[in-house]
Amino acid sequence: MERTLSIIKPDGVARGLIGEVIRRFESNGIRIAAMKMLQMTKAQAEGFYAVHRERPFFDSLTRFMSSGPVVVMVLEGENVIEKNRTLMGATDPRQAAEGTIRRDFGTEIEKNVVHGSDAPETAAFEIGYFFNRFEMMA
Ligand code: CMP
Protein backbone atom coordinates (compact mmCIF):
# COMPACT_ATOMS: atom_id res chain seq x y z
CA MET A 1 0.00 0.00 0.00
CA GLU A 2 1.25 3.42 -0.96
CA ARG A 3 0.21 6.91 0.18
CA THR A 4 0.25 10.27 -1.53
CA LEU A 5 -0.84 13.81 -0.73
CA SER A 6 -3.61 15.45 -2.72
CA ILE A 7 -4.66 19.10 -2.49
CA ILE A 8 -7.84 20.53 -3.96
CA LYS A 9 -6.53 24.02 -4.71
CA PRO A 10 -8.34 27.31 -3.99
CA ASP A 11 -9.83 27.39 -7.51
CA GLY A 12 -11.26 23.88 -7.10
CA VAL A 13 -12.79 24.67 -3.70
CA ALA A 14 -14.18 28.03 -4.88
CA ARG A 15 -15.79 26.43 -7.91
CA GLY A 16 -17.55 23.71 -5.94
CA LEU A 17 -15.41 20.81 -7.18
CA ILE A 18 -14.63 19.12 -3.85
CA GLY A 19 -17.28 16.44 -4.30
CA GLU A 20 -16.42 15.76 -7.93
CA VAL A 21 -12.69 15.35 -7.21
CA ILE A 22 -13.31 13.03 -4.26
CA ARG A 23 -15.82 11.04 -6.34
CA ARG A 24 -13.15 10.45 -8.98
CA PHE A 25 -10.71 9.21 -6.36
CA GLU A 26 -13.19 6.90 -4.64
CA SER A 27 -14.69 5.51 -7.84
CA ASN A 28 -11.18 4.59 -8.97
CA GLY A 29 -10.54 2.49 -5.88
CA ILE A 30 -8.52 5.08 -3.98
CA ARG A 31 -9.10 5.29 -0.22
CA ILE A 32 -9.08 8.59 1.69
CA ALA A 33 -6.89 7.96 4.75
CA ALA A 34 -7.00 11.55 6.08
CA MET A 35 -8.65 14.81 5.11
CA LYS A 36 -9.04 18.43 6.24
CA MET A 37 -9.86 21.91 4.97
CA LEU A 38 -7.58 24.82 5.79
CA GLN A 39 -6.21 28.09 4.45
CA MET A 40 -2.43 28.32 4.25
CA THR A 41 -0.52 31.48 5.08
CA LYS A 42 1.87 32.72 2.39
CA ALA A 43 4.77 31.39 4.50
CA GLN A 44 3.17 27.95 4.82
CA ALA A 45 2.64 27.79 1.05
CA GLU A 46 6.28 28.81 0.52
CA GLY A 47 7.41 26.00 2.83
CA PHE A 48 5.23 23.48 1.04
CA TYR A 49 6.54 24.46 -2.41
CA ALA A 50 10.14 25.10 -1.26
CA VAL A 51 11.54 22.93 -4.08
CA HIS A 52 10.20 25.54 -6.53
CA ARG A 53 11.61 28.61 -4.71
CA GLU A 54 13.99 29.52 -7.55
CA ARG A 55 11.28 29.28 -10.22
CA PRO A 56 9.85 32.46 -11.75
CA PHE A 57 6.30 31.39 -10.83
CA PHE A 58 7.09 30.81 -7.13
CA ASP A 59 5.67 34.08 -5.79
CA SER A 60 2.50 33.88 -7.87
CA LEU A 61 2.01 30.18 -7.03
CA THR A 62 2.36 30.69 -3.27
CA ARG A 63 0.12 33.78 -3.34
CA PHE A 64 -2.53 31.78 -5.15
CA MET A 65 -2.21 28.74 -2.89
CA SER A 66 -2.71 30.94 0.19
CA SER A 67 -5.57 32.96 -1.35
CA GLY A 68 -8.39 30.74 -0.10
CA PRO A 69 -9.28 27.44 1.53
CA VAL A 70 -7.88 24.17 0.21
CA VAL A 71 -8.76 20.54 0.97
CA VAL A 72 -5.76 18.38 1.80
CA MET A 73 -6.06 14.60 1.70
CA VAL A 74 -3.92 11.56 2.15
CA LEU A 75 -4.82 9.07 -0.57
CA GLU A 76 -4.06 5.40 -0.12
CA GLY A 77 -3.94 2.47 -2.50
CA GLU A 78 -1.78 0.31 -4.67
CA ASN A 79 0.46 2.44 -6.88
CA VAL A 80 -1.57 5.49 -5.75
CA ILE A 81 1.09 8.11 -6.56
CA GLU A 82 1.00 7.18 -10.24
CA LYS A 83 -2.74 6.50 -10.22
CA ASN A 84 -3.46 9.96 -8.81
CA ARG A 85 -1.15 11.57 -11.37
CA THR A 86 -3.02 9.81 -14.14
CA LEU A 87 -6.41 10.97 -12.79
CA MET A 88 -5.11 14.57 -12.47
CA GLY A 89 -3.53 14.78 -15.93
CA ALA A 90 -0.63 16.97 -17.02
CA THR A 91 0.20 20.12 -15.02
CA ASP A 92 -0.94 22.38 -17.84
CA PRO A 93 -4.69 21.73 -18.39
CA ARG A 94 -4.25 22.41 -22.13
CA GLN A 95 -1.85 19.48 -22.31
CA ALA A 96 -3.80 17.16 -20.02
CA ALA A 97 -5.44 14.05 -21.51
CA GLU A 98 -9.18 13.94 -22.01
CA GLY A 99 -11.19 12.84 -19.01
CA THR A 100 -8.60 13.99 -16.49
CA ILE A 101 -9.41 16.39 -13.65
CA ARG A 102 -7.16 19.15 -14.98
CA ARG A 103 -8.42 18.82 -18.55
CA ASP A 104 -12.05 18.84 -17.44
CA PHE A 105 -11.82 21.65 -14.87
CA GLY A 106 -8.43 23.41 -14.98
CA THR A 107 -8.32 26.92 -16.44
CA GLU A 108 -4.55 27.62 -16.54
CA ILE A 109 -1.27 26.10 -15.40
CA GLU A 110 -1.56 27.78 -11.99
CA LYS A 111 -5.29 27.28 -11.50
CA ASN A 112 -5.16 23.58 -12.26
CA VAL A 113 -7.57 22.44 -9.50
CA VAL A 114 -5.43 19.77 -7.85
CA HIS A 115 -1.94 19.03 -6.63
CA GLY A 116 -0.51 15.53 -6.15
CA SER A 117 2.86 14.31 -4.89
CA ASP A 118 5.14 13.19 -7.72
CA ALA A 119 7.30 10.54 -5.98
CA PRO A 120 7.54 8.53 -2.71
CA GLU A 121 10.04 10.99 -1.16
CA THR A 122 7.91 14.05 -1.93
CA ALA A 123 4.78 12.19 -0.74
CA ALA A 124 6.43 11.54 2.64
CA PHE A 125 7.44 15.21 2.99
CA GLU A 126 4.09 16.54 1.82
CA ILE A 127 1.96 14.20 4.00
CA GLY A 128 4.08 15.12 7.03
CA TYR A 129 3.65 18.82 6.22
CA PHE A 130 -0.10 18.62 6.95
CA PHE A 131 -0.80 15.50 8.99
CA ASN A 132 0.51 13.75 12.07
CA ARG A 133 0.09 10.02 12.61
CA PHE A 134 -2.98 10.45 14.87
CA GLU A 135 -4.83 12.11 11.97
CA MET A 136 -4.21 9.18 9.61
CA MET A 137 -6.80 6.40 9.56
CA ALA A 138 -5.34 2.91 9.86
P1 CMP B 1 1.56 21.59 -8.75
O2 CMP B 1 1.41 20.15 -9.04
O3 CMP B 1 0.81 22.12 -7.57
O4 CMP B 1 3.12 21.92 -8.52
C5 CMP B 1 3.63 23.23 -8.70
C6 CMP B 1 2.65 24.16 -9.35
O7 CMP B 1 3.18 25.32 -9.91
C8 CMP B 1 2.00 23.43 -10.50
O9 CMP B 1 1.14 22.44 -10.03
C10 CMP B 1 1.34 24.58 -11.24
O11 CMP B 1 0.02 24.82 -10.80
C12 CMP B 1 2.21 25.79 -10.84
N13 CMP B 1 2.87 26.40 -11.99
C14 CMP B 1 2.69 27.68 -12.40
N15 CMP B 1 3.45 27.95 -13.47
C16 CMP B 1 4.12 26.81 -13.77
C17 CMP B 1 5.05 26.45 -14.79
N18 CMP B 1 5.44 27.33 -15.72
N19 CMP B 1 5.52 25.19 -14.79
C20 CMP B 1 5.13 24.30 -13.85
N21 CMP B 1 4.26 24.59 -12.84
C22 CMP B 1 3.75 25.83 -12.82
What pLDDT is recorded for position 94? 98
pLDDT tens per residue across span 61-86: 999 999 999 999 999 999 999 999 99
Query: Relative to the CA of 60, which ligand 1 atom is closest?
Result: 14
CA of residue 18 to ligand 1 center, whole Å? 20
Residue 102 near ligand 1, beta carbon < 6 Å: no
Number of helices followed by number of strands (H, E) in the chain: 7, 4
Distance CA 3, CA 74 (A): 7
Give pLDDT < 50 ranges for the chain.
none
Catalytic positions, written as ranges: 115
Atom 13 of ligand 1, residue of closest alpha carbon: 110
* Residue pair 126/117 in contact by the 8 Å Cβ criterion: yes
Residue 61 near ligand 1, beta carbon < 6 Å: yes
Distance CA 75, CA 3 (A): 6
Residue 4 near ligand 1, beta carbon < 6 Å: no
pTM score: 0.98
